[in-house]
Amino acid sequence: MTKIEKREQFDLENLRKQVAQVRAREAGEKVEQDSGINSFARQIADQLREGNYTPTMIIGQFRLFEFLSLLVIGIAVFHLHMGFGTKLFLVQATVASTVSALTIAILQIGEGYRLPALRARMRFLPRILMSWAVPLAALAAITALLGADHIYSLRLITAWFLVGAAFLLIERILFAVGIRHWARNGVMERRAVIVGGGQAGKELIRALENQTDNDIRICGIFDDRGEKRSPVVVAGYPKLGTVAELVEFARLTRIDMLIIALPMSAEARILQLLKKLWVLPVDIRLAAHANKLRFRPRAYSHVGAVPMLDIFNKPIRDWDSVAKRIFDIAFSVLALVLLWPVMVGAAIAVKATSKGPVFFMQKRHGFNNEIINIFKFRSMYTEMSDPTARNAVTKNDPRVTPLGRFLRKSSIDELPQLFNVLLGDLSLVGPRPHAVLAQTQSRTYSDVVEGYFARHRVKPGVTGWAQINGWRGEIDNDDKIKFRTAYDLYYIENWSLLFDLKILFLTPFRLLNTENAY
């Protein structure tokens, strides 16, 4: 299905309603809204609520599949030729792994894992077969020089080549069919929103649609300007609302990229937009196809052949997110195995020393401002508990039980959050999640810190960089939340698995400082 066919799937009646809503809003009339966006934008958001797989993820999985498949083929051919139970299995497995890895590396260097090569059924097959033949030819030459052809004879290597070549031909053809199907169904795509309409937006959309290997799906246009400067329909795509509504739209759906369609000369306007949009966990790009000013080629990223300037990148993306999730599961399971006696003892103590449930549930901000439920051991008297956290816990707070003071100072009350990690709401390491209505001096944190919600561009964590640097406990002045946010943003911008491991290792030692833990 072409981009034009996708575009025609927009319901005409809904588009007419959207035009009427935009015109009514610009005329100063009251327009019914839901959760900060108009009804048509909400309908589009609901359609895109389901997650998608980026090409990077699918191609990475396919690369791993090819490596493992070639490795298995190499081992199987060797055993069929030499017989099972041979003592040379370790040598053979090492050689098969090396040959398979070299093949994948050559394919990568030869652009065998780019979308045009994966979509083409036949055009790239000679290059793929050559990538498979080169490592095997090198193996044949090495075994002949070393006099090891009794292990890897020319006959064995030829059989390995033929079986592997047949596999590559068949699976590449099938994958080309699959990738076209996934692109049609929206399974494999990058979802983009155009920020800014008018002629610049129209030229950008046309340029994107002309890309044969384009994996971008345009979901709509957002612009603050009126209909005279920015029509309600641009190149067949509807204007879904204002930039302020875009922030809410991006939190209701799964958007991968925001593309700003404004000339670089509109510096003030671009800065104004970025001030609102940088808090979102998406890639932000500035379209550069129509700008006369040119930078070095490496300064650009591209969608097909359309040049973009990278403004912000989504943090912890694609395979980094997979690695972090594996890290979270592995270490949270390990922590539960080691700490279950402590958790059982804490649960019994909570139940025995005060009336009420063992666990306390509180709504907090999660990834991309989603509302999540956090579990802790109850540390307050049930009748005095404050699920909203509007009133922060202070030193010698009468609402906290005697046992609760110990649990809070030792952070044992936080251990049930390990289950939140397994459920996927939290990460082991990340910005600490704050209660939805948390505030300092009668002001919400977002009123105190500009760009506060940018800390929600990643999953919140059980522990974090701010906490091990002493910024834990009561927030009773503006500076405390400002410093916490600054440390959280530093963590997001400098994330790595080693950084996570460092924070996790330091956490038990830094928890010994209970000065601000009430």
The domain that holds 276 is classified in CATH as 3.40.50.720
Confidence of residue 213 (pLDDT cuts 50, 70, 90): low
For residue 155, pLDDT beyond 50: yes
- For residue 428, what pLDDT is reported? 94
Confidence of residue 69 (pLDDT cuts 50, 70, 90): very high
**CA–CA dist 63, 72 (Å, integer):** 14
CB 380 within 8 A of CB 360: yes
Claim to verify: residue 104 and residue 227 sit in the same structural domain: no
- For residue 165, what pLDDT is reported? 92
Tell me phi and psi for residue 79, to 5 degrees: -70, -35
Claim to verify: residue 143 and residue 106 sit in the same structural domain: yes
**CA–CA dist 169, 71 (Å, integer):** 16
Q: Looking at the domain assignment, is residue 299 inside a domain?
A: yes
- For residue 87, what pLDDT is reported? 66
- For residue 167, what pLDDT is reported? 93
Q: Looking at the domain assignment, is residue 3 inside a domain?
A: no
Q: Which of 8-12, 90-94, 393-397, 504-508 has the highest mean pLDDT?
A: 504-508
The average pLDDT across 156-161 equals 89
Claim to verify: residue 421 and residue 329 sit in the same structural domain: yes
The average pLDDT across 304-317 equals 84
Confidence of residue 201 (pLDDT cuts 50, 70, 90): confident
198: alpha, beta or left? (left if phi > 0; alpha if psi -120 to 50)? left
Claim to verify: residue 110 and residue 176 sit in the same structural domain: yes
For residue 21, pLDDT beyond 70: no
For residue 431, pLDDT beyond 90: yes
Interval 283-303: pLDDT, tens: 998 888 666 556 666 667 777
Residues of the chain above pLDDT 70, percent? 84
The average pLDDT across 410-421 equals 90
- For residue 30, what pLDDT is reported? 44
- For residue 342, what pLDDT is reported? 92
Claim to verify: residue 103 and residue 29 sit in the same structural domain: no
Claim to verify: residue 262 and residue 360 sit in the same structural domain: no
Residue among 188, 180, 202 nearest 7 (CA): 202
The average pLDDT across 110-130 equals 83
- For residue 34, what pLDDT is reported? 43
**Mean pLDDT, the chain, whole residue set:** 81
CB 369 within 8 A of CB 251: yes
**End-of-domain residue from the set 165, 185, 205:** 185
Claim to verify: residue 197 and residue 282 sit in the same structural domain: yes
DSSP conformation class of 400: B
**End-of-domain residue from the set 185, 217, 237:** 185
- The total of structural domains in the chain comes to 3
> Which of 8-17, 122-131, 204-213, 374-383 has the lowest average pLDDT?
8-17
The average pLDDT across 132-150 equals 85
Q: Looking at the domain assignment, is residue 6 inside a domain?
A: no
**CA–CA dist 198, 36 (Å, integer):** 24
The average pLDDT across 343-372 equals 89
CB 419 within 8 A of CB 451: no
Claim to verify: residue 85 and residue 139 sit in the same structural domain: yes
* DSSP assignment string, 37-67: EEHHHHHHHHHT-S--B-HHHHHHHHHHHHH
- For residue 419, what pLDDT is reported? 93
**End-of-domain residue from the set 272, 288, 312:** 312
**CA–CA dist 266, 278 (Å, integer):** 18
Range of the domain at 99: 55-185
The average pLDDT across 260-286 equals 84
- For residue 247, what pLDDT is reported? 85
The average pLDDT across 25-43 equals 59
> Which of 225-234, 348-357, 452-461 has the lowest average pLDDT?
225-234
Q: Looking at the domain assignment, is residue 5 inside a domain?
A: no
Claim to verify: residue 114 and residue 31 sit in the same structural domain: no
- Report the b/e string of 73-90 with b at 16+ CB within 10 A: bbbebbeeebeeeeeeee
- HEC readout, 417-482: HHHHHHHCCCEEECCCCCECCCEECCEEHHHHCCCHHHHHHCCCEEECHHHHCCCCCCCCCHHHHH
- Name which residue leads in pLDDT, 214 or 201: 201
Claim to verify: residue 487 and residue 341 sit in the same structural domain: yes
Q: Looking at the domain assignment, is residue 8 inside a domain?
A: no
Q: Looking at the domain assignment, is residue 4 inside a domain?
A: no
Claim to verify: residue 137 and residue 223 sit in the same structural domain: no
Q: Looking at the domain assignment, is residue 362 inside a domain?
A: yes
Claim to verify: residue 344 and residue 469 sit in the same structural domain: yes
Residues of the chain above pLDDT 90, percent? 22
Q: Can you list the alpha helix ranges (DSSP code H) found in 221-291?
A: 243-252, 267-277
Q: Which of 87-96, 112-121, 151-160, 164-173 has the highest mean pLDDT?
A: 164-173
Q: Looking at the domain assignment, is residue 14 inside a domain?
A: no
The average pLDDT across 231-252 equals 83
Q: Show the CA angle centred on residue 444, arms to residues 442 and 449, nearest 5°.
A: 120
Q: Can you list the alpha helix ranges (DSSP code H) found in 195-308?
A: 198-209, 243-252, 267-277
The average pLDDT across 470-480 equals 75
